Amino acid sequence: MLETTRYEARQRVRGTLALTVLLGAFALLIIYIFPTIAESSADIDALIESLPESFREGFGAETYTTIEGFVAAELYQTVWVLLLGLYVAYAAAGTLADDVESGRLYLVLAAPISRKRVAFEKFLSLGVPIVTLNLAMPLVVFGGTIAIDYPLDPYYLLVVHALSVPYLLVCGGIGLLLSVVLNRGDTAQRAGIALVFLLFLVDSVTLGTDFEWLGAISPTRYIDPTEVLLHETVDLADSLLLLVVATLLVVVSLLHFQRRDL
């Protein structure tokens, strides 16, 4: 059982460890400079207030006077939500399209295994980076904030990471759907990055306008680290909606992959 998942998971271990180290180092760098930022935070907050609402909302920039607001804006809203979302979509988009392009998939399907099972088990392997990062990064961030004597509330820090899982699954679902629709791995991967980034832009630029309703199609509308860390507000309904969307994306991908010509 889950032989494909185990194989694909092993292939992702090295990249996941490298990404964990890089993100951990970046997080510690961001945290380390906060005491310096805090000394002039009033001026920075005045600058933030002068920025367009779409920019402030899109990047979660509300205040730099607290470690919660600073980390939410500089680390979670940009690196975690945007860049990690792009990475997961990119990784998922190559799961099947790469194998179709190279011909490896024909060898896999020569065994008594269904297409849907292969696709689903490959999608499950995305749990390696998603789970690893969401277990390791809270420890790094919390330890870093303790070291500079500005500790974050560990409960809401864990909540941010828990709520990011449904969002990342949606990004993975988008990538998986592109992987079963497109035949070339590099095309699917570029399309995954472009689509997730486009959805982020739609959510950001329409905030505060008459077209704000368009942002409802973007998964970034339903995750807000600033609300959790700074305002200690948790919206489980948004996370449940993201889980439903992720499930639908995966189901549609599996059904399409089962019927398509290879």
pTM: 0.89
Please tell me the total count of domains within the chain. 1
Smallest Cα–Cα separation from 93: which of 214, 194, 174, 18? 174
DSSP result, 154-206: HHHHHHHHHHHHHHHHHHHHHHHHHHHH-S-HHHHHHHHHHHHHHHHHHHHHT
Asked which of 35-44, 79-88, 143-152, 220-229 is least confident by mean pLDDT, the reply is: 35-44
Mean of pLDDT values over 233-254: 93
User: For residue 235, is it left (φ>0), alpha (ψ between -120 and 50) or beta?
Assistant: beta
In this prediction, residue 110 carries a pLDDT of: 64
Average pLDDT over residues 115-124: 86
pLDDT confidence of residue 14: 92
The tens digit of pLDDT for each residue in 132-176 reads: 999 999 999 999 999 998 889 999 999 999 999 999 999 999 999
Q: Which of 5-9, 42-46, 147-151 has the lowest mean pLDDT?
A: 42-46
Q: Give the model's confidence band at 41: pLDDT under 50 very low, under 70 low, under 90 confident, else very high.
A: low
Distance CA(145)–CA(156), nearest Å, equals 14
Q: Which domain holds residue 217?
A: 3-259
Cβ(40)–Cβ(156) under 8 Å? Answer: no
- Four-point Cα dihedral 179, 181, 185, 187, nearest 10: -120
CA distance 90 to 84: 10
DSSP 13: H
Residue 95 has a pLDDT of: 85
Mean pLDDT score, 102-118:
72
The Cα-based distances of 128 to 15, 61, 65, 93 in angstroms read 10, 30, 35, 16
Residue 236 has pLDDT above 70, yes or no: yes
Instruction: Tell me the one-letter amino acid at 211.
Output: F
Residue 40 DSSP one-character state: T
pLDDT band at residue 197 under the 50/70/90 scheme: very high
Q: Is pLDDT of 58 > 60?
A: no
- Non-local CB neighbours of 45 within 8 Å, separated by 6+ positions: 63, 64, 65
Q: 20 pLDDT band (50/70/90 cuts)?
A: very high
Closest CA to 172 of 256, 100, 94: 94
Q: Is 232 left (phi over 0), alpha (psi -120 to 50) or beta?
A: left
> Average pLDDT, stretch 92-100?
81
Give the pLDDT score at 158. 95
